[in-house]
Chain A
């Protein structure tokens, strides 16, 4: 009896049915995300009301700025580009359960080397020049991440600690290079200008949206295909989900963990290059950029699946733009958006957040199925 009824269940599920019968887990996860966002936004709104001179005006900027001016919209798209790229990098590393936090360093030096390439190597070569500079940036990211990743591979050095240290190493090496070797004597903290043809071209005239957007989209799609459509991606996810199982299945676990980080590092270096060549005319970073941490936020929002990165990027960029506009229009601190993001991530990461509701949903679902079965049974009889 049981075997025949389950066969029916399997046959009845068409694609539309699948959408309607979204699993309880998925439904609950959506609910959890929505609640986390709502709580984060709620706190942000309260802070705005408390601190703004004109709360109504401040709120309107926070909620709707990207639609108010082309420049604001353009700013939102600029913000999306690095979010997508570092998000993809972290998704790949986190899918292998490698808590590598070294993107900051890779981005910083990747951007530096790309700038140098644009200044000295290919200042006058359009298209191919920027492409080469971005590749060099990626190469730098690859080698920077290779150091902690190899330390882990060979001697089991804790990747969290070593990558955090690595970030500062990169920053101080960069600062030394900038101030001691490559600074334009006429400026306080800038290099010489990047060549006129070495920067990324503007994609939409009248805005600052540059061709890095294309690369960002390509990288997100490639990351998705890699993780979910290739055998190596399956290997990465097997290692991430259960390394014993991966080993049992014949995979070289530490090798796969290593490669996943090298890919992430390469994308990180490229992100630095794209940012540098897309938005700046001279290298001038004297602190770490924060794009690497954004990648972690993105991967958490996207559940390590690059498929959800565009949505997560638009979401974050939207409110960051709002906070940015609000900060110069209504005098509210831009850091407010960090509070919003922090609170949201906190609730998303809290495993037991809404677990009582989950239990109730699971029970209700099982109860519904039981009644359906009972109804089917009485029809059959």
Chain B
């Protein structure tokens, strides 16, 4: 029982915007265990781990590593204490090789020169020791997401980390890559490493971890042996009483096509073709889902539909109007609503109030204007109603949006868009970062809007959400549609995983069925 290997005591952390992310949190881990930290988005898991990695400093509390109280003022200090962290967004230089990335900052030198051979040797040694199948001379930009993640882990191991923090490592992986990662993590545990595994995928936690600490609303709920708790126990601990359920829905009654995407090819920011010859349609009264590992062309498809990118080839039209010829204002006037994936850049102006953010884009409506002045009362009435309806946790509509937590900012964006237009709704990760209850009500609302005749295009990394909401489903891989399911009935997440990874691919005539008129 080496509970002193790593201990965080009474940690309290308040962010600059006043959000108390950790409130008197306690956590401890033993040598040689895989310890899960579970909690909903926004529960404070990442904040806790950032403090352990020295990115953030606690306002109150103590951190004890290997029996010694430490002050982790920066990641460098954390690394010196044997703590390594793998973030969701990789911190790698794409143009450099694996070995160069792994040894970045601790480069072996030969005189003044970088000793490339020794860097490769160092990397290979660690690879062999822990059974990582990575080519040290490969360039990062040529690697798959799963392999990039391995490089991140290697980076920590080369620096001598024996405490490894993984922040939702499986979020970007296919089911198959996930299995491979788990084999490696178990091997690391068996060689005495402590692994802290942040996740809210309970199946993974059950199959991989030894113990679990549950965090809810910034508090520790408790630490348990994974053997002793079932998945439903954990989810109850995570969310309190509510458990995520499938949203019930009737079969779709689709009408005329609203969105028609035909032969679409789109270049990414670097001018490289990121979407190749994609065709599909979304009709009135149906939800069409797009599954795929992030970065396989979804963003570019959405950009071409919402007017942020022009197609390199092919056409996109909404109710017969070609998107290319219209301004964003013109698209919005056609009835386009868009919940963007990057809410901080596109979705809000963080220094403006909740009301102003909710009214943005609708400010020209007669309802919100009395002569030349805005109708403050109408604005107040509507935004107050939306704040209630979408359960935005705030001090009132005058509060600036930047002062809200990530999940509540997302609710503001969704509230504005779902009350803006009804003809075509493009949702990119609509429930990311939102608590279970609010996510459920947003999904129900989307189904209701579908039943009222809206056409909905849904891109989500949450496969459960995709399978639940979509009436028809596409899978994209490397910018192409590799699978099309006319119905999600009986489709499993595993099956989607094979297509998302590019292992399987349907014939052209099958995927061509996605374009219905």
The B contact surface, by secondary structure, is: loop
25 inter-chain pairs at a CB distance below 8 angstroms, sorted by A residue, are A3-B391, A23-B395, A25-B403, A234-B359, A234-B363, A234-B374, A238-B352, A238-B360, A241-B349, A242-B350, A244-B346, A245-B349, A247-B328, A248-B340, A249-B328, A249-B360, A250-B329, A252-B327, A362-B15, A362-B17, A366-B14, A366-B18, A366-B20, A369-B20, A370-B23
Known contacts A244-B345, A244-B346, A245-B347; A362/B374 CB under 8 A: no
Known contacts A9-B395, A242-B350, A244-B346; A225/B360 CB under 8 A: no
Query: Taking the complex as formed, is B369 at the interface, i.e. its CB lies under 8 A from any CB of chain A?
Result: yes
**A355 closest partner in B (C-beta):** B16
Query: Taking the complex as formed, is A51 at the interface, i.e. its CB lies under 8 A from any CB of chain B?
Result: no
The CA-CA distance from A367 to B7 in the complex, in Å, is 23
User: In A239-268, which residues have CB < 8 Å from any B CB?
Assistant: 241-242, 244-252
User: In B59-94, which residues have CB < 8 Å from any A CB?
Assistant: 59
Known contacts A231-B363, A242-B350; A362/B372 CB under 8 A: no
- Residues from chain A with a CB closer than 8 A to the CB of B345 are 242, 244-245
- Residues from chain A with a CB closer than 8 A to the CB of B331 are 250
- New A-B pairs, 7, CB < 8 Å, besides A238-B352, A241-B351: A10-B395, A237-B356, A245-B346, A250-B333, A251-B361, A363-B14, A366-B14
Query: Taking the complex as formed, is A285 at the interface, i.e. its CB lies under 8 A from any CB of chain B?
Result: no
Contact B360–A234 (Cβ < 8 Å): yes
Contact B347–A248 (Cβ < 8 Å): yes
Binding site for B on A (CB under 8 A): 1-3, 6, 9-10, 13, 23-25, 225, 229-231, 234-235, 237-238, 241-242, 244-252, 358-359, 362-363, 365-367, 369-370
- Residues from chain B with a CB closer than 8 A to the CB of A24 are 18
User: In B24-38, which residues have CB < 8 Å from any A CB?
Assistant: none
Binding site for A on B (CB under 8 A): 12, 14-20, 23, 59, 217, 240, 327-329, 331-333, 338, 340, 345-352, 356, 359-361, 363-364, 368-369, 372-374, 376, 391, 393-396, 399-400, 403
Contact A225–B373 (Cβ < 8 Å): yes
The A contact surface, by secondary structure, is: helix
**A13 closest partner in B (C-beta):** B396
Minimum distance in angstroms from A300 CB to a CB of chain B? 16
The CA-CA distance from A363 to B18 in the complex, in Å, is 7
Minimum distance in angstroms from A141 CB to a CB of chain B? 23
Contact B396–A10 (Cβ < 8 Å): yes
- Residues from chain A with a CB closer than 8 A to the CB of B348 are 242, 245
Contact B349–A242 (Cβ < 8 Å): yes
- Residues from chain A with a CB closer than 8 A to the CB of B346 are 244-245, 248
Minimum distance in angstroms from B240 CB to a CB of chain A? 8
- Residues from chain A with a CB closer than 8 A to the CB of B340 are 248
The CA-CA distance from A251 to B356 in the complex, in Å, is 14
Contact A235–B363 (Cβ < 8 Å): yes
- Residues from chain B with a CB closer than 8 A to the CB of A366 are 14, 18-20
The CA-CA distance from A235 to B400 in the complex, in Å, is 16
The CA-CA distance from A250 to B115 in the complex, in Å, is 53
Minimum distance in angstroms from B74 CB to a CB of chain A? 17
Contact A6–B393 (Cβ < 8 Å): yes
Contact B369–A234 (Cβ < 8 Å): no
> What are the nearest 4 A-B pairs in CB distance?
A249-B361, A241-B349, A250-B329, A231-B363
The CA-CA distance from A24 to B14 in the complex, in Å, is 13
Minimum distance in angstroms from B328 CB to a CB of chain A? 5
The CA-CA distance from A358 to B12 in the complex, in Å, is 17
The CA-CA distance from A161 to B70 in the complex, in Å, is 50
**A225 closest partner in B (C-beta):** B373
Known contacts A245-B346, A248-B346, A251-B329; A231/B364 CB under 8 A: yes
**B59 closest partner in A (C-beta):** A363
Contact A362–B332 (Cβ < 8 Å): no
Interface centre among B17, B19, B349, B391 (most CB of A within 10 A): B349
* Cβ-defined partner of A230 (8 Å) among B23, B373, B393: B373
The CA-CA distance from A359 to B366 in the complex, in Å, is 43
Minimum distance in angstroms from B341 CB to a CB of chain A? 12
**A242 closest partner in B (C-beta):** B349
Minimum distance in angstroms from A17 CB to a CB of chain B? 11
